[in-house]
Structure 1
Amino acid sequence: MEEWPVRSNPGAAMKSFIDVSRVVLAGALLAFAGSSAAQQTFPNKTIRIIIPFSPGGTNDILARLLAPKLTESLGQQVIVDNRPGGNTVIASNELLKSPPDGHTLSLPGNSHVLVPHLTKTPLPFDSIKDFTPVATLARTGMFLVINPSLPVNNVREFIAYAKERPGQLNSAAPGGSLNQLATELFNSAAGVKLQHIPYKGAAPALADVVGGQAQLSFQTPASSLGHVRAGRLKALAITGETPFADPKVPTFAQAGLPGFDVGLTFGLLAPGGTPKPIVERLNREVAKILAMPDFREKVAAQGLEVFVSTPEQYRAHLVSESEKFARIIKAAGIEPQ
């Protein structure tokens, strides 16, 4: 069979290559221009901060302190949207359904990376890879608060009381939260059996402790101070290294349980794929707000400490917290539910 000779045409090949390169370059420039234009016009509509718990908890309080400041600095209204339930999964799913354009954020605690370790059911997302960390906001310890009708006045007396009533004392806490983990860790550290009762937020949990339907709760000062100062709840101790000043509440170490410590951190997340310039703009604006004396004063009044970070530092913090929770849960023998 006769083969036809192949005749090369270097000029035509080079022209074809140049034409293809121009098309690829034009497409890349258009994509960059579109992305750049979107970033330059950010924000161009209302910004929503999703809260994974019901109103009245620390996340909600912090968001409502932050929202008016962000509204002022960004020139667009910032609203708070409570999406409780599902061990915070409902709120996370709501965030991930939103366009990654910076106009929808969530404000979880470090419980965001705790949930995968507390549930047997696989989550529909990766708590780290599918989210974009924007900025940390604050951190705090947790009170052990009890109904004043319990005949105890300190942690040692409470432990003795609980040991006599295994499984009879109900600890009210939002499901999938550090508050829930605190209950399980307290059981392990103190050798007692408190019964975790899940709620959709701190406010309904505390309402039931005040009403006597539950006997105790591990809660942040921001959520529980009003009840404590009014005498509706009694605070026995606080996690962390610093005792609480007003009212005076000792640390757990001072109260006789040095091995018990759980701390909460709070921050803003965006959907995965949110453009870096938008994330950096939000981070800069948040950092400015966290430096404002009036904002810091309001945060301190809630028993919170301002916590500033870059997006990269926040991501590293979440990874570290996830690894820490995995170790704690394994060491305490806590079984996922």
Structure 2
Amino acid sequence: MEKEFRVILDDYGTHGFAACQCPECKKVIVLKKEMLKGVHDGYLPEIIKCDCGYQGSRINSSALASNHFLWLAATFLMVVISIVMMFLDTKGYFVAVTLAISVVLTIITFVTWKIKPEIVEKAKSAIYLKEAALRDNEANLEKECWNSYLKEVEQFKSEKAGRVIQKKDGERVYIGRDEHNLYLMPIYKDEGYRTSDISQWLGVKKVEKVHDALWSQKVKTIPRRNIDYFMLTGGMRYETKISGGNSGIQGAAVGYALGGAIGAAVLANPTEVKSEEIAHDERRVYMQYTNNEKTYGMNFQPEEYATLRALIPEKEYGVRR
């Protein structure tokens, strides 16, 4: 008959690991807890392989770590039954039996409490080491993805005359071009977070996938032939805000009523009138392009007019092409 692995912990740690014991060498093996959900008739959906060479799929899925709590609960129940029967059974036979069972359960509980924690602690330690290795791998992946992203940025600047441009809404992106296309590459959180979650931002689990993910999911490509024009539009709007100022006649009347001639003299003079001119910059650089027979537009800060003129001078509004 096939030997069975024994589950020690069925859910432990932040990554959701389980631990079982090899029936051959008694070594602790760490596995994903999802594997235990697929147990059917005492068999796992896949084979577990131990370093000692033993492999199999038969498993006892009752977690060893929780067994002493079950024994303790059973012991407590038998003691309660014994106390109740002391009042119901005058001869005491049943009381003696239940007390004997309670003693046996107490011994079993003590054994599981004292002996099993050693293997449970080994299982916890194995899971901790597994999670530590995963954290190191995740940190290394983020660092490698970040370095690969920086390499892509430098290559973008070098090969496509890339530079930073600011949209009208304040978003900053890289913009560049080659002979056929205009490219807009997003800046990863303005490059303010070095190793946080760039792999998730790119949706990759391997550093080799950074290039493909960046260019297929993040970079916007606009064929230069589809760009209609760019132009500086809008203007400066000025608003005058006036504050202060009192009516001399009303001030004199109120001042005389409150303070006689002196009060009238003080309040008869109007307070200083202040005017403040507030400028609203409504200028924007508007770039229009078509895609699949639909017209789209992008707005940039007015200072970026020179940037677009340097990259796609032939698309400047009014320039003959």
Give me the TM-score of the superposition, normalised by structure 1.
0.23
Question: Which is greater in Rg?
Answer: 2
Compare relative contact order (CA 8 Å, sep 6+) and give the higher one, 1 or 2.
1
Q: TM-score, normalised by structure 2?
A: 0.24
